[in-house]
A = this chain, B = another copy of it.
Amino acid sequence: MCVVVVGSVAYDGVETPHGRVDRMLGGACTYIALASSYFSDTKIVAVVGEDFAKEDEDLLASHGIDLEGLERLPGKTFFWEGVYSADMNDRTTLRTDLNVFADFKPKLPPTYREAAYLILGNIQPSLQTSVLQQMNGVRLAGGDTMNYWIKDYRDELLETIRAWDFLLINDSEARMLSGEHNLRRAAAKIFEMGPKTLVVKRGEYGAILFRGNTHFILPGYLLEEVFDPTGAGDCFAGGFIGYLAERGFDLKKGHIDAKELSRAVTYGSVMGSFCCEKFGVDRFRTLTRHEIDRRFDEFRAFTEF
């Protein structure tokens, strides 16, 4: 089954304790799509400038990602620069040049509109809504957001997520959105806002999926070395939606196999963990589905008791 991914395609400048890269392919849409592509046909909707390199387009194409919805506008591609703290749990943004992204008006090619799965990367809520409205009969739609939209665009955001099946955010965002510190109570509040499934990303501590009165908690993978956490959360999202699409999972159905959602969280964590092993998208140049499934089995081995 097909996944449509909307979000930023960008160039990133990143500094971590392991080194520094001045300019490399990045952006939420890029990471989500690369991760999703290991599981399902993946189509992106994004905008880049004239400086977008052939080799970066080729990397996406080599993963079978449909680029028909990748618009190219006069000007430069979105650029983000940030530096990570010593333990890599915090990062500081040094520069954000929106460039062509400032005028992003997502337009779905007709071939995208019948896709069953939609994931909305972190962009302005009204743009997320406009994409969902262009889809016909989506089976499963949801996405990400961030503190900026929660704080300064709250009404617009609430209007947007009301139509989502799932919301996928980190723990501090879940607390900010709900006004509840306790995550169980935060989830209950967020359910009232629309999404009936909440995935809370906890960085190195893993993730929690809340649905109804139940939840699933997965600890994070213990990497020997975290080179660059940029994109890990988006890769999580890509693995999550990609796996559900591969399985043809339908959240709107009356009967839901909760274990499938848990396995989607696990595949999400697998993809996030691989992402951290090299700078930027580098790990996806060589990563294979076999490695992914092996790490999924590892997750089972170190969590079973």
Residues of A within 8 A of B (CB): 87, 181-185, 202, 205-206, 208, 214-220, 222-225, 259, 262-263, 265-266, 300-305
CA A219 to CA B222, docked complex, whole Å: 13
Given contacts A185-B224, A205-B205, A225-B182, contact A304 B219 (CB under 8 A): no
Per DSSP, are chain A's interface residues mostly helix, strand or loop, or mixed?
A: mixed
Cross-interface CB contact of A302 among B183, B216, B263, B266, cutoff 8 Å: B216
Given contacts A184-B224, A224-B182, A224-B184, contact A305 B219 (CB under 8 A): no
Tell me the nearest residue of chain B to A300, going by C-beta. B305
What number of copies of this chain does the assembly contain?
2
Tell me the nearest residue of chain B to A88, going by C-beta. B181
Q: 6 smallest A-B Cβ distances: which pairs? A: A262-B305, A217-B219, A205-B205, A219-B219, A263-B305, A184-B222
Tell me the nearest residue of chain B to A187, going by C-beta. B222
Tell me the nearest residue of chain B to A86, going by C-beta. B181
Instruction: Evaluate contact between B181 and A305: CB separation under 8 angstroms.
Output: no
Instruction: Evaluate contact between A259 and B305: CB separation under 8 angstroms.
Output: yes
Instruction: Evaluate contact between B205 and A222: CB separation under 8 angstroms.
Output: no
Q: Which residues of chain B have C-beta atoms less than 8 A from A302's C-beta?
A: 214-217
Tell me the nearest residue of chain B to A210, going by C-beta. B222
Q: Which residues of chain B have C-beta atoms less than 8 A from A225's C-beta?
A: 182
Q: Which residues of chain B have C-beta atoms less than 8 A from A220's C-beta?
A: 217
CB distance from A199 to the nearest CB of B (A): 14
CB distance from A18 to the nearest CB of B (A): 12
Q: Which residues of chain B have C-beta atoms less than 8 A from A208's C-beta?
A: 219, 222
Q: Which residues of chain B have C-beta atoms less than 8 A from A219's C-beta?
A: 205-206, 208, 217-219
- Could you jot down 30 A-B contacts, CB within 8 Å? A87-B181, A182-B223, A182-B224, A182-B225, A183-B222, A184-B222, A184-B223, A185-B224, A202-B205, A205-B205, A206-B219, A208-B219, A208-B222, A214-B302, A215-B302, A216-B302, A216-B303, A216-B305, A217-B219, A217-B222, A218-B219, A218-B303, A218-B305, A219-B219, A259-B304, A259-B305, A262-B304, A263-B305, A303-B305, A304-B304
Q: Which residues of chain B have C-beta atoms less than 8 A from A222's C-beta?
A: 183-184, 208, 215, 217
Q: Which residues of chain B have C-beta atoms less than 8 A from A218's C-beta?
A: 219, 303, 305
CB distance from A44 to the nearest CB of B (A): 29
CA A265 to CA B259, docked complex, whole Å: 24
CA A214 to CA B223, docked complex, whole Å: 13
Known: A183-B222, A206-B219, A217-B302. 9 other contacts (CB 8 A): A182-B225, A184-B222, A208-B219, A214-B302, A216-B303, A217-B219, A218-B219, A266-B305, A300-B305
